[in-house]
A and B are shown apart, each in its own frame.
Chain A
């Protein structure tokens, strides 16, 4: 199944979250993330956390896995935290060398890092419940209106489709070339940085050559199958909005409204 597409972090499932139209998921994720940036106090964050827990449970996803998706971005979160902590205004709490730490800075730092964490968590929720193919499809539909101002929506989507198709193939090929070069005495593991870089070159050059040859052959094969751009093209699976999409939109708009209320009137 789709799980064997080696990148992306899609976890196949049959839950209401998985079944939402990809367009709905993309737009709602953007709304939720925007709403996150208005959140500035304890209540707002509790509400967001509750919403996050609700969607995760509904999508039968593992919390641990979701939290793990934050891991690669730790450095950015830490830097954000410290920048805000050290650049805060107001009363100094304590000093560290030339840096002074203020109460306002500390709060700001925590808020900003929390926002980043939520940003990652909510986008992971989307990518974990939407297959890359659906995402591509959704993006193409969403970008379609912008074709008028010259945005190549179909071409972008086709590029993503082909990338999805060929990444596993190119990975297999990389492995093959690596073995072939190792058999001829290349060493990819030891040696200094320059040596390693030079050895990687013996991997990259054949890989690129083959990728170009593949691209050429694929283009011919696509033309032979009547491909002539996005003009007049139909799709086998047309995306269709369902009642659940409306319901999801209602919930998210309500959430955003409450968050806005907390921010400006609370």
Chain B
């Protein structure tokens, strides 16, 4: 039997706008995320990605359907703290998720909240800052750091709780290319070295291409899912959903249109190998 860390069944969520219009953010999403997996969730604005992500952290209780995280039902508010310890969440704007005026104080915020003894908190803070390569900045004020560094501090803040899963909601959307690379490589390392399950929401297909699996959201539904190769193979469908396709996959698709048989590819290298055959 496979070990699933997040399971949703027919999960739906709707809300009313200020104008009184009913909006279905999620309509019947059923998915399973395995322990240790790196899953990317992509989709245009308003496709329900963030709403879905907030369910994983019990920030939103399910309206209908089921959401089970680490074996705990999200609908039961008694599980909330346990779920939040197990599933950390990193948001888009690094400025708006750092609480304290000192990097190490901020990283300590999570462990302090769950009442950990001080000695253990210091240990966790050291571990978390080292994991994202920010140990030299522990006595710095967050507003003096670059965007990428701030986002790494935010990741450390989540990591200090030693979660088994981390949900990142467009963590690189506000960063420059350098910051984006810093954050992405930190996330990849957490997944590969520490075995933390990653749910990575992004607009950047290049980032999604690195995942084990991609889930494409559209209008509150999971429209497509599968390995990057399989998903990008359906380039036409992706384009219809308003999404980009990485250049190699796009070239492969255009060639296929012209009648050249090209296998599913994701990277430039794979495309080159496929074409040279």
Contact = CB atoms under 8 A, between A and B. Distances in A.
Tell me what chain B mostly uses at the interface: helix, strand, loop, or mixed.
Answer: helix
Nearest to A221: B97
B143 A217 contact: no
B67 interface: no
Tell me what chain A mostly uses at the interface: helix, strand, loop, or mixed.
Answer: helix
Q: Which of A133, A217, A225, A233 has the most CB of B within 10 A?
A: A225
Contact of B101 (A164, A221, A228, A235): A164
Contact of B121 (A133, A164, A223, A234): A234
Contacts of B142: 165
Interface string A194-223: 000000000000000000011001101111
Given A161-B101, A165-B142, A237-B118, A224 B59 contact: yes
A62 interface: no
Counting chain B residues whose Cβ lies within 8 A of the other chain, the interface size class is: 35 or more
Nearest to A230: B113
B97 A234 contact: no
Contacts, number: 107
B161 interface: yes
Contacts of B93: 214, 217
Contacts of B97: 217-218, 221
A2 interface: yes
Contacts of A238: 118
Contacts of A169: 95, 143
B161 A221 contact: no
A218 to B, nearest CB: 5
Interface string B99-127: 11110110011111111111001100100
B100 A165 contact: yes
Contact of A221 (B91, B102, B114, B121): B91
9 nearest A-B pairs in the assembled complex, by CB-CB distance: A221-B97, A217-B96, A236-B108, A224-B89, A226-B113, A225-B110, A168-B143, A164-B101, A232-B115
Interface of B: 57, 59, 81, 84-85, 88-89, 91, 93, 95-102, 104-105, 108-118, 121-122, 125, 139-144, 154, 157-158, 161
